[in-house]
Amino acid sequence: MRISASQIDRLMACIGGAVLPSIEEPSSVGAERGRAIHDYMASVPSLGRDRALAMVPEDYREFARAIPIDRLPVVKEAWLPEAAYAWDPIEDRGYYLGSMINRAYPATLPGNTVVGTADAIGLADDQAVIIEWKTGKHWSEWQLKFLALAACRAHKCDRAMCVIVFLREDGTCKELVFRYDIFDLGLFAEQLLGLSKRVLAAKSSGESSLVMGAHCEYCPAKLNCPAHTALIRSACAMPANFAAEFEVLTPEAIGKAWPKLVAALQILHRAKAQIETWVTDNGPVPLENGKELRTVVTGRESVAYPRAVADILHGMFPDYDIMGAFKLETSKAAITKVVQSIAVHKGISGRDLKESVFAAVRAAGAIARTTWTRVEEVRIDGKGRDTNPSGVDPKEYGEKFAEAILKRFSSTGPT
């Protein structure tokens, strides 16, 4: 099994996915949306915005249209979209495999090479700049570390800047920036070599210790994983015993129980979704409790056009103040959408206009801040919570690195 960049985070936590048989998951709406937007971003440089937009599936075209493409490094010739890389852990050597190869990594690569594709890359004299587009929340720093290492080794750079750009449906973006120097790259090479050795050893012995946790969510071996199947068997066969495992509330017990609980919930949610899909596709199923599992259509009425209702009520009751029955509602996302389209119409910066609108709205005390508390897993090193912690101006990675790239990309695949 060749390791791919998106698997590294999970394999660092648990090697089991490299050994156990995989089962391909059906594609989710989120994954399809991500693929459509990635394809769009990759095709803008060659097709131009309008033609690329016309090729986006209709369901996602509004999302694609809202992306502030001129502000992002995709239209500059010097940026390569979908740049594929391989890295050889034994030789510590990186290979640039080409742009837009659609993840068809050459079969001739050694079995232990690690492969991955950067959504866009630009090069300066000694620095690789890697861009990853995200349409969801899930991201992995190891994917960036690998791309930084492979690209730097392939193009003889000493440092890398990796930028995750979160693209949102309302046309706004957030950037998360990571910088890696020559020492970081050396450390990543060592850690990835260790991982590659562990994977090889597990595959040849057929044994691996299984570590459950949130990383299990995207593990293709989840349905064949003994840690999960044992847990589900115990949850279904003896719910009381299963629940008792989570009753002792000491920090040590919680530390052990939480990852198991998250993993169990993931697999139970998935099993429930599978059954619901089956019933939707095939019809009702009788249950042992005498009831039936079936699709049920429910609904409620809501007012679609408040203004039309106001006109009707006003016409029917002209002597009464009927506005008490109406409330004016909006949201930050709705305001942002309107402001973005005004900015496009006026040909000015959407970001600046949005800032001035929200400054005025805040100054008027029209925005309330609500806080709430919840329990969630966060990284102890504190990384990954700030957006754009280095304050890099997106223009910097969009334009500053544009010149040297064509020359530097003459380096090609494995020899």
Shortest separation between residue 275's beta carbon and ligand SF4, angstroms: 20
Q: Which is nearer to ligand SF4, 16 or 73 (CB)?
A: 16
Q: Residues 216-255 vs ligand SF4: string with x where CB under 6 A?
A: x--x-xx--x-xx---------------------------
**DSSP assignment of 323-391, as one string?**
GGG------HHHHHHHHHHHHHHHTS-HHHHHHHHHHHHHHTT--------------TT-TTSSSSTT-
Q: Which is nearer to ligand SF4, 224 or 388 (CB)?
A: 224
Q: Which is nearer to ligand SF4, 97 or 264 (CB)?
A: 264
Closest residue (Cβ) to ligand SF4?
16
**DSSP assignment of 184-242, as one string?**
HHHHHHHHHHHHHHHHHHHHHHT------SGGGGG-TTGGG-HHHHHHHHHHHH-HHHH
Per-residue tokens: 151: 């690209």
Say whether residue 20 binds ligand SF4 (CB under 6 A). Answer: yes
Judged on CB neighbours under 10 Å (0-12, 13-18, 19+), 243 is exposed
Rounded distance, CA 86 to CA 114, Å?
Answer: 6
Shortest separation between residue 25's beta carbon and ligand SF4, angstroms: 12
Q: Which is nearer to ligand SF4, 211 or 235 (CB)?
A: 211
Place of tokens 């970081």: 184
Span interacting with ligand SF4, options 14-22, 246-254, 284-292, 361-369, rule CB under 6 A:
14-22
Site residues for ligand SF4, window 36-95 (CB under 6 A)? Answer: none
Say whether residue 260 binds ligand SF4 (CB under 6 A). Answer: no
The correct pick among 3, 5, 8, 14 for binding ligand SF4 (CB under 6 A) is 14
Tell me the angle at which helices 29-47 and 58-66 cross, rounded to the nearest 10 degrees. Answer: 60
Rounded distance, CA 44 to CA 69, Å?
Answer: 9
Q: Count of residues binding ligand SF4 (CB under 6 A)?
A: 16
Span interacting with ligand SF4, options 154-162, 213-221, 276-284, 362-370, rule CB under 6 A:
213-221
Judged on CB neighbours under 10 Å (0-12, 13-18, 19+), 114 is buried
Per-residue tokens: 339: 């402001």
Q: Which is nearer to ligand SF4, 196 or 340 (CB)?
A: 196
Q: Which is nearer to ligand SF4, 269 or 362 (CB)?
A: 269
Shortest separation between residue 241's beta carbon and ligand SF4, angstroms: 21
Q: How far, rounded to the nearest angstrom, does the alpha carbon of residue 255 sit from its chain's CA centroid?
A: 26
Q: How far, rounded to the nearest angstrom, does the alpha carbon of residue 278 sit from its chain's CA centroid?
A: 28
CA 326 vs CA 308, 315, 321, 322, 366: distances in Å = 12, 16, 11, 8, 19
Shortest separation between residue 124's beta carbon and ligand SF4, angstroms: 38
Shortest separation between residue 207's beta carbon and ligand SF4, angstroms: 12
**What's the chain's length in residues?**
415
Say whether residue 202 binds ligand SF4 (CB under 6 A). Answer: no
Span interacting with ligand SF4, options 31-39, 211-219, 249-257, 336-344, rule CB under 6 A:
211-219
Site residues for ligand SF4, window 273-312 (CB under 6 A)? Answer: none
- Answer yes or no: are the C-beta atoms of 392 and 175 closer than 8 Å: yes
Q: Which is nearer to ligand SF4, 159 or 222 (CB)?
A: 222
Q: Which residues bind ligand SF4 (CB under 6 A)?
A: 10, 14, 16-17, 20, 210-212, 215-216, 219, 221-222, 225, 227-228
